[in-house]
Amino acid sequence: MHQITRDIKMKANEIGFDLVGICEAEELDDYKHYQRWIEKGFHGEMDYLPRRTAHRKSPKTLMESAKTVISCALNYYHPTVEGDFDHGMISNYARNLDYHKIMSNMLKELADFIQKQNKEALVKYYCDTGPILEKAYSQQSGIGWIGKNTCVINQKIGSWIFLGEILCSLPLNPDPPAKNYCGTCRLCIDICPTEAIVAPYQLDSRKCISYLTIELRDTIPIDLRKDMGHHLFGCDLCQSVCPWNRNPPESPMDTFYPRQDIRNRSLEEWLDLDEEGFRSIFKQNPVKRTKWMGFMRNVIVVAGNSRDHKLIGKLEGLYNLNNTLLSEHLDWAIDRLESSK
């Protein structure tokens, strides 16, 4: 299987993947860690996670014939230019096209190649779409280690990567697992404003700004709103401070380059955004996951943290929407701005 393994890796690089690694499709100790994480309630309101916990035990529960897992990683990093997103931060991964479709197409191309090379091969691919412990298998296949911030970190390109997997019935040659190089560093733990990294390698999603601004559909807890700062969608603080991201290579893919129509938009403009405008701007962008109501909730909180008293009139105008969720956050934001005069 040495030749087909080499051919698969060469094809993966040709398609555009920055990293590719292979491991056996076996149960990992990480499954027990995942179970404990769920039991502690650290998944918050992401109810889809505990529903399929058993499926994550082994790749063989997803494809009985699976012998290997092919892990692929794609660099999406583009630096934030000075002045961009000053009024409202959108996470680096969500500044242009949604990666799911892009990466799924790339994985499909690689899966098709495998089956053309070996007609008896069975394959199944995932890109953040199936119940597979993708970080654990990325580490096992040598892509990178799981850092204290729970992101996968590669020595050469850091942690600004998307992950995808192909389950394969061929007994390909595995790579050695990635070694952990976090050492005694705790920069990611210390920088988190909400203290969401409750211990090294343990993230309480309920406190995480990414969870609060993306996954949480309800009211953002009052005690966490100030610490959201200017984050509209997601948060990159624990990655930005990581020493392994000190000089990350820029992605060659323009599809991840920050779009001009969102990078310099002011809070006044975001507060004027109606539902139709939201759908138009974020039609093929990850931000659409929050839906308009969730995004406006985030905008209101960021406005409250801005100390820009000129926004009070804009905020008061949003009461006309007669929305209970937004009104509760409007009360908080206006009160915070008025008390800072």
Full DSSP string of 138-186: HHHTTS-EE-TTS-EEBTTTBT-EEEEEEEESS-PPPPPPPPP--TT--
Position 85 in a domain: no
pLDDT in tens, 78-131: 998 776 677 899 999 999 999 999 999 999 999 999 999 999 999 999 998 889
CA distance 123 to 130: 14
pLDDT (0 to 100) of residue 129: 85
Confirm if 285 and 96 have CB atoms less than 8 A apart.
Answer: yes
Asked if 250 and 313 sit in the same domain, the reply is no
Asked if 148 and 71 sit in the same domain, the reply is yes
Asked if 292 and 227 sit in the same domain, the reply is no
Position 86 in a domain: no
Residue 52: pLDDT band (50, 70, 90) is: confident
| Secondary structure (3-state) at 22 | strand
- Give the count of domains, the chain: 2
Helices (H), the chain: 2-15, 30-39, 48-51, 99-117, 134-140, 187-191, 209-210, 222-225, 237-240, 260-263, 267-271, 275-281, 291-305, 312-317, 324-339
pLDDT (0 to 100) of residue 323: 96
Asked if 181 and 164 sit in the same domain, the reply is yes
Asked if 169 and 252 sit in the same domain, the reply is yes
Pick the last residue of a domain from 257, 280, 301: 257
Asked if 160 and 300 sit in the same domain, the reply is no
Asked if 55 and 198 sit in the same domain, the reply is yes
Q: Which of 128, 175, 308, 331 is catalytic?
A: 128
Residue 264: pLDDT band (50, 70, 90) is: confident
Position 197 in a domain: yes
pLDDT (0 to 100) of residue 260: 87
Asked if 105 and 178 sit in the same domain, the reply is yes
Pick the last residue of a domain from 234, 257, 280: 257
Pick the last residue of a domain from 257, 285, 309: 257
Average pLDDT of the residues in 286-296:
97
Considering only CA atoms, which of 15, 3, 19 is closest in space to residue 109? 15
Per-position DSSP letters for 241-286, written without gaps between them: T-GGGSSPPPPS-GGGSPPHHHHT--HHHHHT--HHHHHHHTTTSG
Position 301 in a domain: yes
Position 155 in a domain: yes
Provide the residue range defining the domain that includes 173: 1-78+92-257
Position 110 in a domain: yes
Asked if 244 and 290 sit in the same domain, the reply is no
Position 29 in a domain: yes
Confirm if 70 and 8 have CB atoms less than 8 A apart.
Answer: yes
Residue 24: pLDDT band (50, 70, 90) is: very high
Position 196 in a domain: yes
Asked if 27 and 129 sit in the same domain, the reply is yes
Asked if 217 and 270 sit in the same domain, the reply is no
Asked if 48 and 174 sit in the same domain, the reply is yes
Query: Is 128 labeled as catalytic in the residue annotation?
Result: yes
pLDDT (0 to 100) of residue 153: 99
